[in-house]
């Protein structure tokens, strides 16, 4: 089985609680931890089916706190998908509530434990910065505007109880995760394979991407590095424009990428607000904290990341073949 090169600097196995463990990032993280001999405690919203599962229900405000006693770390990745459905007022409220209610419940629960974790790595997103054009953004950049920026701001504030209890909190501001199994790339790959993919809108918007393997590595780096605290950008060192990402995928798949998706068509299909914030706008984000604290990227450049995803997949994906 695969052993991650991003090991946790601890003696013996750790118990790490993970929400969103069935999602794209969560399932890869659990696999990585378990491959290295750590215990992943999965928080699930149904009746537990194994000893490694713990029941919680964020809308109802309930969680099996006793089952979390003695965990070493918590990683919070749960939340309604940003791009899963068109943004109605109700859907936007679900997106916000799924992040704020779950984060607040988990943070308060961890704060009240007799033997709580040393660290909480809580999901966030580069949407925190809002649309910023060509501006280079680091963890020190001010917040942006728009719905996604507001969601991320409230999302991060919801960890307040854990911070007040002395738990080290890391806000993982994740970019576009490159994986064939899901996310933005998972939707684009079938189109590019068919030769009907192309730039979205002008294609000049910045895509701050990260490989799935490095996303997992960055989470483990945040858990195991005591000096990492507060926001940490989970993006590769070299953001690229949308058109460059599409072209790189086309080259790797030996397919043309000359059919752009016009802005007006994307707004018609997705709705103007969602199209403008999720697809047509961008952020040029760099991982200053990760770099300064010694994280070594497996896929620091777009070419290596695309080759890993298209030609080989992640280690988890290779084993599944």
Pair 278, 270: CB distance under 8 Å: yes
The model's pLDDT over 99-148, given as tens digits with 9 standing for 90+, comes to: 999 999 999 999 999 999 999 999 999 999 999 999 999 999 999 999 99
pLDDT tier at 321, thresholds 50, 70, 90:
very low
**Domains, the chain, with CATH or none:** 15-313 (3.40.50.720)
The pLDDT of residue 256 is: 79
The pLDDT of residue 52 is: 92
Measured CA to CA, the distance from residue 54 to residue 225 in angstroms comes to 26
Ramachandran quadrant class, 15 (left: phi over 0; alpha: psi -120 to 50; beta: rest):
beta
> What is the pLDDT averaged over residues 161-175?
97
CA 172 to chain centre: 7
Q: Taking 90 as the threshold, does the pLDDT of residue 8 lie above it?
A: no
* pTM assigned to the model: 0.90
How many Å from the N-terminal Cα to the C-terminal Cα in the chain?
13
> What is the pLDDT averaged over residues 59-86?
94
Pair 100, 158: CB distance under 8 Å: yes
Q: Taking 70 as the threshold, does the pLDDT of residue 312 lie above it?
A: no
Residue 227 CB contacts under 8 Å (≥ 6 apart), including other chains:
293
> What is the pLDDT averaged over residues 83-108?
94
The pLDDT of residue 126 is: 96
Nearest Cα neighbor of 247 from 208, 199, 281 is: 199
> What is the pLDDT averaged over residues 35-53?
93
Other residues' Cβ atoms within 10 Å of the Cβ of residue 320: 10
Helix boundaries (H) for the chain: 24-35, 89-112, 147-157, 160-164, 183-193, 212-224, 242-253, 263-270, 272-274, 288-292, 302-307, 315-320
Mean pLDDT for the chain overall: 89
The pLDDT of residue 60 is: 94
Tabulate helix, strand, coil % of the chain (nearest 5): 45, 20, 40
> What is the pLDDT averaged over residues 8-34?
87
Lowest mean pLDDT among 21-25, 221-225, 314-318: 314-318
Indicate the burial class of 261 (C-beta count within 10 angstroms; 0-12, 13-18, 19 or more): buried
The pLDDT of residue 11 is: 47
The pLDDT of residue 318 is: 46
The pLDDT of residue 251 is: 86
The pLDDT of residue 254 is: 83
The length of the chain is 321
The model's pLDDT over 227-285, given as tens digits with 9 standing for 90+, comes to: 999 999 999 999 999 999 999 988 888 887 878 888 988 898 889 999 899 888 899 99
Residue 147 CB contacts under 8 Å (≥ 6 apart), including other chains:
87, 92, 273, 277
């Amino acid at each position: 089985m695969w052993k991650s090169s991003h090991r946790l600097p601890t003696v013996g196995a750790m118990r790490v609680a993970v929400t969103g463990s069935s999602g794209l990032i969560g399932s890869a993280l659990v696999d990585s931890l378990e491959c290295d001999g750590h215990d992943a405690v999965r928080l699930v919203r149904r009746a537990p089916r194994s000893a490694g599962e713990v029941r919680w229900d964020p809308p109802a405000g309930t969680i099996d706190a006793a089952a979390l006693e003695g965990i070493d770390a918590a990683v919070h990745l749960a939340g309604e998908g940003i791009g899963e459905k068109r943004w109605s007022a109700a859907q936007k409220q679900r997106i916000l509530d799924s992040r704020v209610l779950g984060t607040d419940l988990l943070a308060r629960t961890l704060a009240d434990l007799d033997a709580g974790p040393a660290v909480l790595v809580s999901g966030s997103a580069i949407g925190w910065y809002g649309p910023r054009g060509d501006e280079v953004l680091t963890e020190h950049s001010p917040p942006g505007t728009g719905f996604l920026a507001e969601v991320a701001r409230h999302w991060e504030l919801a960890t307040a109880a854990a911070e007040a209890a002395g738990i080290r909190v890391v806000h993982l501001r994740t970019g576009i995760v490159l994986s064939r199994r899901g996310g933005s790339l998972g939707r684009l790959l079938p189109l590019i394979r068919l030769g009907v993919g192309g730039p979205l809108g002008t294609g000049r918007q910045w895509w701050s991407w990260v490989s799935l393997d490095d996303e997992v590595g960055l989470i483990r780096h945040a858990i195991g590095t005591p000096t990492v605290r507060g926001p940490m950008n989970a993006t590769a060192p070299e953001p690229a424009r949308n058109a460059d990402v599409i072209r790189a995928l086309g080259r790797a798949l030996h397919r043309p990428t000359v059919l752009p998706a016009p802005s007006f068509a994307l707004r018609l299909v997705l709705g103007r607000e969602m199209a403008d914030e999720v697809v047509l706008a961008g952020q040029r984000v760099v991982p200053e904290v990760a770099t300064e604290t010694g994280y070594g990227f497996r896929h620091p450049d777009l070419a290596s990341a695309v080759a890993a995803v298209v030609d080989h997949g992640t280690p988890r994906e290779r084993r599944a073949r």
